[in-house]
Amino acid sequence: MKYDDGLDDDGYPLPANPWRKPFIYGDESEAGDVEPLSIGVGLASLLDRISRYREIGGNCESPIEEALGAAILLCFERGGEPLKLCLVADLKQPPAGLLLVPQFAWSFYRSDWAILDPRGVGALLIECDGKEFHSSDAQIAHDAKKDAAAHDRGYLTMRFTGSQIHREPDKCAQKIFEVIRA
């Protein structure tokens, strides 16, 4: 008598479990170009990210804001256009170059992040929309009103969900970089 463990004689899942299909054909050459990452390069990248988290410090209200802020700093640095982290108090005497401002206050609103050019009048406002504070009908209506007010002031707003930031903060930062460079 055969024990029914859901596997065939070779140890592969039976067709009753179609979500688990074994890899049978092909070899490594069909996987495409894979660039190996050395431990040193991976560790250096991790240390860079940790350094940016420390640089941001306690200037954010949530982990998704910290994650996106660190990713933005790294992305712009790698793109050859480093941002200067600038607290709102520092805006009275801003340094030259693009500034990344956490908890940017404007009108009677506040945005999670802003990228400013101290010589210009516009800004890119970046919102980190966690599900807890941005999913009810009232919260969505408030966000739409805030976006309209930003537009009226000449600001551009980009919104990212908490899931997007948790899954791929670097991809979110790359989208921001592309908007700034356009």
Q: How far apart are CA 166 and CA 172, in angstroms?
A: 10
Domain of 157? 39-181
Residue 156 scores a pLDDT above 80: yes
Task: For residue 11, tell me if it sits in a domain.
Answer: no
Is-contact 22 12, C-beta < 8 A?
yes
Residue 68 scores a pLDDT above 90: yes
Q: Please state whether the predicted TM-score (pTM) of the whole model is above 0.75.
A: no
Count of domains forming the chain: 1
Check residue 9 and give its pLDDT.
Answer: 63
- More confident: 76 or 88: 76
Task: For residue 69, tell me if it sits in a domain.
Answer: yes
Task: For residue 9, tell me if it sits in a domain.
Answer: no
Task: For residue 157, tell me if it sits in a domain.
Answer: yes
Task: For residue 49, tell me if it sits in a domain.
Answer: yes
Task: For residue 103, tell me if it sits in a domain.
Answer: yes
The domain spanning residue 75 has which CATH number?
Answer: 3.40.960.10
Q: How far apart are CA 115 and CA 123, in angstroms?
A: 6
Check residue 16 and give its pLDDT.
Answer: 53
H or E element at residue 126: strand 123-129
Q: How far apart are CA 24 and CA 121, in angstroms?
A: 59
